[in-house]
Structure 1
Amino acid sequence: MEYLLRLFGTPAIIIAFIAFLGLCLQRSKVSAIIRGTVLAFVGFVLIKTGGGILGGVLTMFSDLFTHAFGLRGVVPSNEAIMALTIDKLGRPAAIILFFAMIVNIFLARYTRFKSIYLSLHLVVFMAFSVTAALTGLGYSEFFCIVFGSLVIGTYMAVFPTLLSRFSRKVIGHNDYCIAHAASTSYLAASYLGKWFGNTSVDVEHVTVSDKFSFLKNPDVATFLTMFFLLGISSLFASNEYMDGILKQQPYLIWLLERSATFAGGLFIAKKGVVLFAEEIVPAFKGFSQVVAPGAIPAVDPMVLFEKSPNAVLIGFLVSFFAELCCIALFPLIGLPIIIPGILASFTCGGTAAIFGNATGGFRGAVIASFFNGLLLCFLPAMVLPLFSHLGVNGVTFADPDFTILSLFIKYTFGLVH
């Protein structure tokens, strides 16, 4: 089961297989099949590589920030809680993943919800959270598999399709749409931008003085953002902690290199997105003609980052600020402190700002990303008791879609069982 989870939890493998199958079904030349399959695979591996670099720097920053300001609380981390519970939940989660894919394809073929969810690593996390929630309420493994397969498979088809109404505003077409575990946040972001924003001021077209024209380059802006965040946090950390991080490296060199590493990771990921998008979209047409005519691929939101670099940075900072507000608020209202998940702040906050900007300009981006930050704290805090039976302390599930579904399970199935 662990091997099955790893295989289906590797998006690059699924992407390469779909590209290969699609090109074969189109009866492309052998050279075109090899080229398309390899480039689709390489593109997604670059996205993963860039994401891994980003995650490494953000994890280090999260630890530094927590130490510097003396924070103690629960860390939302899908990867961590999955690793700690794989022996308990791995078998039903793998089965749910398999049948959820079948349900997704069936709905894409026979209903108006034409999205096929390709961010399968996120489906693995959702399968774990559903299984954990239901077993905690006393439901059997068989019920977990049936319920999880139907609900998650339906989610995989429906939510990217609903979100495509707004994602096409960013992408410019509907050849692909977005599949992510914060789709509820992005839908809310789009409506918040529409209701309270102002499209006359696009965050990507904000006028910058010639003195600060270097900020127009997204790589430079990304570097300076991380330089500032790391620099401020390190000022409040103890000398002993910083010595452990620096490992005899000069402080300024460490600060410059980590900031550059973060900017480089995002650069690599964005280049991978370009390769991926150029190959998977035309190849997917051949795949969908046989499997589900009219279906469109639903992919990771990082494909949007190249189109809206300013929104990504603003969304990251505003979402992170909202999470800091929650740290101050939660002890006053009796909720456990949720340590900001920096990677989620970056990915989900940045994407929420992109959608908020698409419907409500600069104001919409700020409102949307702030609301996203609140979701990233309030939802994990509310469902934390539901996962106490796992015996895992200090960590919980992170993304809004997982936690909202867990809340639904808690307040519906919990009442009747």
Structure 2
Amino acid sequence: MFVLEFFKDVLSEPAILMGLIAMVGLIALKSPGHKILTGTLGPILGYLMLSAGANVISSNLDPLAKMIEFGFNIKGVVPNNEAVTSVAQEVLGVETMTILIFGLIFNVLIARFTRYKYVFLTGHHSFFMACLLSAVLGAIGLSGWQLILVGGFFLGAWSAISPAIGQKYTLEVTDGDEVAMGHFGSVGYYLSAAIGKVVGKNSKSTEDIKVPEKWSFLRNTTISTALTMVIFYLVSAIAAGPDFVSTLADGKSPYLYAIMCGLQFAVGVTVVYAGVRMILADLIPAFQGIATKVIPNAVPAVDCAVFFPYAPTAVILGFVSSFVGGLIGMFVLGAIGGVLIIPGLVPHFFCGATAGVYGNATGGRRGAVVGAFVNGLALAFLPALLLPVLGNLGFGNTTFGDVDFAIIGILLGKLGEWLGTVGIYGIVAVVLVVLILPSILKPAPYAINNKTED
């Protein structure tokens, strides 16, 4: 049990996982010892920087959400992956842990023996998905090794398939850099990119916005982010009133507190960017060893924040547009008598920003705005549809926030409700066909940016 707990901890730490993958790649390349050391530590430290920045962002979004909820008198459910996971762990800890381990094993086997060459490196999202699968499949009637094997298979399969679905869009985002999307909001990002293609003809990139000389300081991503978020926080603080904000400010002036939160948010974004640069500088060269010696033509699937530096202006536009979409979705749900899904600022920032980056890659400014707006609507309606499924499992009033969780949870939950375990094994059969058929139809891989694609 101790060994299982240790492996669970290792696999749920993306920093360590990235470092281990980089180390294996460098050893496969027969790199000298000092390069193995620095190449292993680089991705670990880079991801820790990314996580530190993300924590700063999340901790400063929490008071903003409370000010908006109080100031505008909004009551409902705030989707939060961490919250629903913490509830589920009280009864599903062992199942989640073992599904996580088997999911990684299946992911590696699929990448090695099929044309889906993507190795999913975002460990905390794998952990969240393992939790969702253990809850939904367990409620349908699977238990013991059936639950572990089926849950691990679904986790490993989606970890390989989801990056492949939109890799053509990811290549447009990265201008050919050999990384893939390893985040379970992926369907929302690919939808944004597809919408960008439709609405963004002749629309210039968000990064080509011409700024007059006197406003050129806005080209500095940290400063423009800080100014945007300070305005957000001040408007929310004014709406909530100084008495309420004082309860969050720990004795500090309410409006100074709002300003400092906005500035700290911008610092968090900058730290994320620095961590991403450090990850990519060491991980991609090291991954060549994996791609050539261990899993031929393997591609690393990485966290959504890794894609922020490719279009920093689209990050802010995507966040704002997604949040507006979430607000409108909330009002629509209220009007039709549904559960109010209050826009969670963490999913709308990370997922909305990424949707903006993808929409911009295919459709410029219009693609970023419209694509992220549709993503925001999805972040309202899909968690509302998932909520009854989780409610039936005893997790009422909490739900997962990202698109992939909702789609998979609803699909498996409804199939299990209608067809029981027969429906689940039917889906297993379909996924096996999806994994195997491309190798039969076209056994040889074809090029991705002069390398390979699936």
Please state which band the TM-score falls in when normalised by the shorter chain. Answer: over 0.9
> What CA deviation, in whole Å up to 9, does each residue of 1:246-288 have, x standing for no partner?
2332344323321111111111111011111000111111133
- Residue number among 32, 49, 53 corresponding to 2:52 in the alignment: 49
Which shifted more, 263-272 or 97-106? 97-106
Structure 1 distance, partners of 2:13, 2:332, is 38
Matched, 1:224 2:227: yes
Give the equivalent residue in structure 2 for 1:144: 147
Which shifted more, 216-225 or 136-145? 136-145
CA shift at 1:141, angstroms?
4.5
Asked if the contact 2:203–2:364 (Cα under 8 Å) also holds between the matched residues in 1, the reply is yes
Asked if the contact 1:199–1:359 (Cα under 8 Å) also holds between the matched residues in 2, the reply is no
State how 1:357-372 maps to structure 2 within 5 Å. 357-372=360-375
CA shift at 1:78, angstroms?
0.8
Give the equivalent residue in structure 2 for 1:82: 85
Give the equivalent residue in structure 2 for 1:201: 204
Matched, 1:336 2:336: no
Asked if the contact 2:179–2:300 (Cα under 8 Å) also holds between the matched residues in 1, the reply is yes
CA shift at 1:174, angstroms?
4.1
State how 1:402-417 maps to structure 2 within 5 Å. 402-417=405-420
State how 1:11-410 maps to structure 2 within 5 Å. 11-410=14-413
The one-letter code of the counterpart of 1:78 is N
TM-score by length of 1: 0.96
Aligned residue for 1:116, secondary structure, equals strand
Aligned residue for 1:249, secondary structure, equals coil
Structure 2 distance, partners of 1:325, 1:30, is 55
> What CA deviation, in whole Å up to 9, does each residue of 1:357-393 have, x standing for no partner?
1111111111110110011110110111111144334
Structure 2 distance, partners of 1:3, 1:107, is 24
Asked if the contact 2:136–2:393 (Cα under 8 Å) also holds between the matched residues in 1, the reply is no
The one-letter code of the counterpart of 1:188 is L
Matched, 1:6 2:45: no
Q: How much identity, in percent, do the aligned residues show? A: 33
The one-letter code of the counterpart of 1:71 is I
Aligned residue for 2:310, secondary structure, equals coil
Asked if the contact 1:93–1:128 (Cα under 8 Å) also holds between the matched residues in 2, the reply is yes
Which shifted more, 169-178 or 134-143? 134-143
Structure 1 distance, partners of 2:287, 2:144, is 35
TM-score by length of 2: 0.88
Asked if the contact 1:104–1:117 (Cα under 8 Å) also holds between the matched residues in 2, the reply is yes
Q: Which residues of structure 2 form unaligned runs of 5+?
A: 421-454
Asked if the contact 2:352–2:372 (Cα under 8 Å) also holds between the matched residues in 1, the reply is yes
- Higher relative contact order (CA closer than 8 Å, sequence separation 6+): 1
The one-letter code of the counterpart of 2:71 is A
Change in Cα spacing, 1:6 to 1:69, as seen in structure 2 (3 Å) is farther
Structure 1 distance, partners of 2:386, 2:418, is 15
CA shift at 1:199, angstroms?
4.0
Change in Cα spacing, 1:2 to 1:398, as seen in structure 2 (3 Å) is farther
CA shift at 1:36, angstroms?
1.1
> What CA deviation, in whole Å up to 9, does each residue of 1:287-331 have, x standing for no partner?
333331110111112121112011000000010011111221112
Structure 2 distance, partners of 1:139, 1:67, is 42
Asked if the contact 1:199–1:362 (Cα under 8 Å) also holds between the matched residues in 2, the reply is no
Number of aligned positions between the proteins: 417
Structure 1 distance, partners of 2:244, 2:203, is 47
Structure 2 distance, partners of 1:75, 1:20, is 39
Asked if the contact 2:233–2:259 (Cα under 8 Å) also holds between the matched residues in 1, the reply is no
Aligned residue for 2:251, secondary structure, equals coil
Structure 2 distance, partners of 1:250, 1:111, is 59
Which shifted more, 90-99 or 114-123? 90-99
CA shift at 1:61, angstroms?
1.0
Change in Cα spacing, 1:235 to 1:3, as seen in structure 2 (3 Å) is farther
Asked if the contact 2:17–2:121 (Cα under 8 Å) also holds between the matched residues in 1, the reply is yes
Q: Which residues of structure 1 form unaligned runs of 5+?
A: none
The one-letter code of the counterpart of 1:309 is P
After TM superposition, which residue ranges in structure 1, 4 or more long, deviate above 6 angstroms? none
> What CA deviation, in whole Å up to 9, does each residue of 1:47-88 have, x standing for no partner?
010111011011121122112112111111111111122121
CA shift at 1:99, angstroms?
1.4
Structure 2 distance, partners of 1:98, 1:288, is 22
Structure 2 distance, partners of 1:394, 1:2, is 29
Asked if the contact 1:81–1:392 (Cα under 8 Å) also holds between the matched residues in 2, the reply is yes
Structure 2 distance, partners of 1:266, 1:116, is 26
> What CA deviation, in whole Å up to 9, does each residue of 1:167-197 have, x standing for no partner?
1112122421111111111111111111222
> What CA deviation, in whole Å up to 9, does each residue of 1:138-158 have, x standing for no partner?
443443323222222111111
Aligned residue for 1:40, secondary structure, equals helix
Aligned residue for 1:76, secondary structure, equals coil
